[in-house]
Amino acid sequence: MYRRSTRPAELSALPPPVVAAIDRHVGQRQLRLDAVRAWVTHSENPPSESFFGKLFGSRANSADPDAWHDTYVVLHPTHLVVATAGEKRPMSVLSLPLALASMVRGSGLALAADIPGANDGVTVTGFPGEHGQTGSYFVGLGPDAAGRECAAALEAAITAAKNPR
């Protein structure tokens, strides 16, 4: 449903509100942002191609109020930090120790429904969820080289954290 592109990023080059939100989040968890890798994925929610979608000016994903949003993936030596911001949605930041994380390529729901673009990202499980259940989060990535690099780096970091030498 989205058009995505991913690129590597330097934390210092991110928008100041994003940097401030990530700094607050990691500061509360006593994490330092030394030796991190980061990527930014820009996701566009294009106009709907269906007859009724065009008629009513809907977007491809009508449940998403934003025409675009950005996802920031920060790979810390021990944690995954994910931030999301859009034109209407508020900034949100989540983190998870890599040793508690699991990931699969793509979105389980989208893959089951055979939705185009379902493999353009990773589903990370291990976040605190509701009612004591484990939560998951789909991190959309571009189909480009940087998106593949981000997914591979995340998978390698989770595997290394779960299998220390």
Q: How far apart are CA 59 and CA 129, in angstroms?
A: 29
Residue 14 confidence (pLDDT) above 50 = yes
Q: How far apart are CA 73 and CA 83, in angstroms?
A: 7
Please give the pLDDT value at position 111.
46
Please give the pLDDT value at position 132.
85
Q: Give the pair of three-digit tokens for residue 62.
A: 């009508």
Please give the pLDDT value at position 60.
57
The amino acid at 17: P
Q: Give the pair of three-digit tokens for residue 124.
A: 């990370």
Task: With residue 111 as reference, give the H or E element that holds it.
Answer: helix 108-112
Q: Residue range 6-22: average pLDDT?
A: 95
* 11 and 33 Cβ atoms separated by less than 8 Å: yes
Residue 116 confidence (pLDDT) above 60 = no
Class at the top of the CATH hierarchy for domain 3-162: mainly beta
Q: How far apart are CA 138 and CA 108, in angstroms?
A: 9
* 91 and 75 Cβ atoms separated by less than 8 Å: no
Please give the pLDDT value at position 51.
56
Please give the pLDDT value at position 83.
97
How many other β-carbons are positioned within 10 Å of the β-carbon of residue 89? 12
Residue range 49-103, pLDDT digits in tens: 655 544 555 555 555 677 788 999 999 999 999 999 988 888 999 999 999 999 9
Residue 154 confidence (pLDDT) above 90 = yes
Please give the pLDDT value at position 100.
96
Please give the pLDDT value at position 113.
45
Q: How far apart are CA 88 and CA 86, in angstroms?
A: 5
Higher pLDDT, 29 or 113: 29
- pTM, two decimals, is 0.84
Residue that is written with structure tokens 């979608």 in the block: 53
* φ, ψ for residue 95, nearest 5 deg: -145, 160
Please give the pLDDT value at position 104.
93
User: What is the strand order of the sheet 92-97 is part of?
Assistant: 3-9, 37-44, 68-75, 79-86, 92-97
Q: Residue range 152-159: average pLDDT?
A: 97
